[in-house]
Amino acid sequence: KAGVTQTPRYLIKTRGQQVTLSCSPISGHRSVSWYQQTPGQGLQFLFEYFSETQRNKGNFPGRFSGRQFSNSRSEMNVSTLELGDSALYLCASSLGLASFQETQYFGPGTRLLVL
Amino acid sequence: TQLLEQSPQFLSIQEGENLTVYCNSSSVFSSLQWYRQEPGEGPVLLVTVVTGGEVKKLKRLTFQFGDARKDSSLHITAAQPGDTGLYLCAGARGGSQGNLIFGKGTKLSVKP
């Protein structure tokens, strides 16, 4: 069974630009969550999508948005990039049964550098 | 405010030593998970603890969930260089695992 894949793996952008990151979950998984990881703040939850609907949302500004397609693939978009958006962006997939015992599987992440 | 505090932040030990990593919070969690992350990769789940007071063992790793479900510990016996990595604890609140709250992690280095 293929794991969670994320593309691209590395990205360099300049301030003010926008970026779209992609995540393909494990086959059969309907929930995709996105996290931002930085040395200073650690891993922070951005949002979760289930069946093409945003089910949970973290405390990030509206510049961060996402969507999920009918095949469960998900994209996140960051508009008007700031230097502080430089981070490793991780997505995780799960069955989405809303059970606190359910396992999330993480992808390798997309490392974004904003210059 | 960091809801989950991990300590220590960094740990450098020799092969064969024992160590304990702590994860503390003032909040109650439905479950608590421990992950290990290696450079260039995403976190990999090690264990999920659900019941207060629960103890789970995974080979040389022992995980404990506090009675009040607010804290947890990870104990490694006879550490090996392959244990090197970033250890993260994460708490789930409510019924959804889609919103995990992570600690900042403990960076462990085991020298041969």
Residue B27 has pLDDT above 90, yes or no: no
Q: Please report the pLDDT score of residue B2 as a whole number.
A: 60
In chain A, which residues have their Cβ closer than 8 Å to the Cβ of B96?
A: 48, 55-56, 98, 100
Q: What is the pLDDT of residues B81-91, one digit of tens each?
A: 999 999 999 98
Q: How many CB pairs under 8 A join A and B?
A: 79
Question: Among A57, A100, A101, A111, which would you mutate to test the B interface (most chain B Cβ atoms within 10 Å of its Cβ)?
Answer: A100
Q: Which amino acid is at A34?
A: W
Read off the pLDDT band of B95 (50, 70, 90): low
List chain A pLDDT tens, one digit each, 115 residues. Answer: 679 999 999 999 999 999 999 999 999 999 999 999 998 899 999 999 999 999 888 889 999 999 999 999 999 999 999 999 999 999 999 988 766 567 889 999 999 999 9
Q: Please report the pLDDT score of residue B93 as a whole number.
A: 73
Residue B100 has pLDDT above 90, yes or no: no
In chain A, which residues have their Cβ closer than 8 Å to the Cβ of B97?
A: 31, 94, 98-104
In chain B, which residues have their Cβ closer than 8 Å to the Cβ of A101?
A: 31, 48, 50, 97
Q: Which residues of A47-72 are buried (b: 16+ CB within 10 A; e: fewer)?
A: bbbbeeeebbebebeeebbbebeeeb
Q: Please report the pLDDT score of residue B5 as a whole number.
A: 94
Q: Please report the pLDDT score of residue B3 as a whole number.
A: 82
Q: What is the mean pLDDT of residues B18-41?
A: 92
Q: What is the mean pLDDT of residues B7-25?
A: 96
SS3 of chain A: CCCCEEECCEEEECCCCCEEEEEECCCCCCEEEEEEEECCCEEEEEEEEECCEEEEECCCCCCEEEEECCCCCEEEEECCCCHHHCEEEEEEEECCCCCCCCCCEECCCEEEEEC
Q: Which residues pair with B63 in a beta bridge?
A: B56, B74
Q: Please report the pLDDT score of residue A67 as a whole number.
A: 97
Q: Which of residues 23-82 of B touch A (CB under 8 A)?
A: 30-31, 35, 40-45, 48, 50
Q: Please report the pLDDT score of residue A99 as a whole number.
A: 62
Nearest-Cα distance to chain B for A50, in Å, is: 9
Q: Please report the pLDDT score of residue A1 as a whole number.
A: 64
- Lowest mean pLDDT across A34-38, B2-6, B92-96: B92-96
Read off the pLDDT band of B98 (50, 70, 90): low
